[in-house]
Amino acid sequence: MQRAYWSADFGEAHVVEAMLRAHGLHASVFDAGIVRQDWFKTLALGGYRVMVPAAQMASAQELLADYRSGAMTLADADLDVPACPRCSGHAVADDPRPRRVVFGTLLASQVAPFAFTSSPALLWIAGLLPFLPLAAAPLLGSRHRCRSCGAAFATPRRHFDALAHAVAEAEPTASAEPAG
C-alpha cells in the first residue's frame, strides 16, 4: 500500500477514499482512529492518509489530479437547489438565522437559572428553561435566503421514503429472467 493522498481533515480523507472506491480502486484511510483521538497532533501524527495498492497508484494519481483541479465538481444544473419564490433565481444559500435563534435560546436557558435563584417559584420556572430550545427546534427546517433579492423562504422537507422512491424510479430495473 502506498499513500495516494494526505489530509488534515477527517471528512475530506473519507470523501477522497469514497471517490477512489467509486472508480474501482481499493482505497483505505489509515490512522483515522489514532489521529481522531489526538486531533490536536494531526500534523505530528501524519494526518489522515489515503492508501491504495501500489499497482493502482497511477490511476489514483490521475483521479486525484482531476479532484484537485475541480474537474469532478457537479454542474449547477445537477444540484438540487431550490428556486426563489419571489424572483425564481437559483442564487440561494442556507439561512443561518434559525440556527442562531436556537443557539441563543440554548445559551439563555443555561445562563437564566442563575438570575432566578432568588425565589422558589422563579427557580421552578428556571428548571423549565433548558427545554426552551426544543420549542425553537422547528425553526431549523430547510430555510433558505436568496442572494439576488434577499427573500427568506422555507422548502418542505423531503422524507426518506420519498427520496428512496425517487432513487428506485431512476435506477434501471434488472430483468428477472436469466439471460441466455
**pLDDT recorded at residue 175:** 47
163-172: pLDDT as tens digits = 677 777 776 6
Q: Tell me the residue range of the domain where 126 lies.
A: 76-171
Same domain for 167 and 82, yes or no, is yes
Q: What is the mean pLDDT of residues 20-36?
A: 88
Same domain for 89 and 166, yes or no, is yes
Where a domain ends, among 10, 40, 73?
A: 73
Classified as helix, coil or strand, 118 is coil
Q: What CA dihedral angle connects 66, 72, 76 and 77, to 10 degrees?
A: 130
Q: Which of 19, 5, 15, 11 is nearest to 39 (CA)?
A: 11
Same domain for 59 and 96, yes or no, is no
CA atoms of 67 and 7, how far apart (whole Å): 13
Same domain for 63 and 81, yes or no, is no
**pLDDT recorded at residue 60:** 93
CA atoms of 139 and 106, how far apart (whole Å): 13
Same domain for 52 and 101, yes or no, is no
Q: What share of the chain is helix, strand, coil (3-state, %, to 5)?
A: 55, 15, 35
Where a domain ends, among 31, 57, 73?
A: 73
